[in-house]
Amino acid sequence: MLSFRNRIEKNDPEIIRQIAQSTGFFDDNDVQINVNIAENLLNQKDSNHKFLFADYMNKTVAYVCYGEIPDAKEGTYEIYWLSTLNEYRGLGIGRNLINKLITKLRKKGAHKIYLKTESKDLYAPTRKFYERCGFKLQAVLPGYYDDFDSCCIYALNLDERDSWGFYPEQYGAAE
Ligand SMILES: CC(C)(COP(=O)(O)OP(=O)(O)OC[C@H]1O[C@@H](n2cnc3c(N)ncnc32)[C@H](O)[C@@H]1OP(=O)(O)O)[C@@H](O)C(=O)NCCC(=O)NCCS
């Protein structure tokens, strides 16, 4: 049974380290950025980032780190980091977590969620994942991460219904 929690707990920085490392997508610096955000939140030194965790049978198996973008229009959020523990990938947990986040943010009056991801081949499944979650590619910043690795900016417009009258997360709920 999958459950979700917002509250960050003492062991979460280490859990986040293990989940991020397990994916094989992030270098040590990226992993440490995730851990530092969690530690700063625990020490109440950060109010711009939040986490939503997915727990499966009392084990934390995925997390998303997000926040409201301070200099953008009110209700504009960004997903900063997202990972599912490697052996739990492809089971629908990431999709459920994003759906939960969308529902939560919509209740808070959010209008838009942005995220940045990479153009290199390693991230092709990640881009596919976001597209399946309803995000649309908005812009590409060439050479942002590396000479041949561009930044792909995706957005989900929470005010938009599709041509069937459904909001994006309702696809997830129907499956
Ligand atoms: C991206 C990530 C968070 C997705 O989480 P997940 O739990 O594996 O995703 P799900 O099982 O919920 O998959 C949801 C959808 O994405 C698609 N998807 C997931 N992994 C995929 C893959 N390897 N190839 C193609 N599609 C994939 C699934 O087909 C599924 O779509 P469907 O439900 O319509 O069939 C996870 O794979 C991950 O941690 N990846 C490495 C780190 C990463 O890229 N983080 C994001 C950085 S921007």
Q: Is 89 left (phi over 0), alpha (psi -120 to 50) or beta?
A: beta
CA distance linking residue 135 with residue 21, whole number of Å = 25
Q: Which residue owns the Cα nearest ligand 1 atom 30?
A: 129
DSSP 8-state secondary structure symbol assigned to residue 37: H
Q: How confident is the model at residue 4 (pLDDT cuts 50, 70, 90)?
A: very high
User: What confidence score (pLDDT) does residue 174 get?
Assistant: 41
Q: Which residue owns the Cα nearest ligand 1 atom 18?
A: 129
Ligand 1 centre to CA of 98 (Å) is 11
Q: How confident is the model at residue 160 (pLDDT cuts 50, 70, 90)?
A: confident
Give the pLDDT confidence of 27-49 residue by residue, as tens digits: 999 999 999 999 999 999 999 99
Q: Which of 171, 19, 5 is nearest to 89 (CA)?
A: 19
Residue 5 reports pLDDT greater than 70: yes
DSSP 3-state assignment of 43? coil
Give the pLDDT confidence of 49-68 residue by residue, as tens digits: 999 999 999 999 999 999 99
111 Cβ inside 6 Å of ligand 1: no
Q: How confident is the model at residue 169 (pLDDT cuts 50, 70, 90)?
A: low
Furthest-apart CA pair in the chain: how many Å? Answer: 45
Q: How confident is the model at residue 103 (pLDDT cuts 50, 70, 90)?
A: very high
Ligand 1 centre to CA of 94 (Å) is 6
Give the pLDDT confidence of 13-28 residue by residue, as tens digits: 999 999 999 999 999 9
Residue 175 reports pLDDT greater than 70: no
Residue to probe by mutation, ligand 1, list 52, 87, 129, most atoms within 8 Å of CB? 129
**Homologous superfamily of domain range 2-174:** Gcn5-related N-acetyltransferase (GNAT) (3.40.630.30)
What's the average model confidence in pLDDT over 98-116? 97
User: What confidence score (pLDDT) does residue 7 get?
Assistant: 96
25 Cβ inside 6 Å of ligand 1: yes
User: What confidence score (pLDDT) does residue 164 get?
Assistant: 54
Q: What is the pLDDT of the chain when averaged over all its residues?
A: 93
Percentage of the residues of the chain whose pLDDT score is greater than 70: 91
- Give the atom of ligand 1 at the shortest distance from the alpha carbon of 85: 39
Q: Which residue owns the Cα nearest ligand 1 atom 34?
A: 132
Contact 43, 74 (CB under 8 A): no
Which residue(s) pair with 153 in the sheet?
A: 116, 139
CA distance linking residue 82 with residue 54, whole number of Å = 11
Q: Which two tokens stand for residue 104?
A: 């939560």
Whole-structure pTM value = 0.91
Domain coordinates in residue numbering, the chain: 2-174
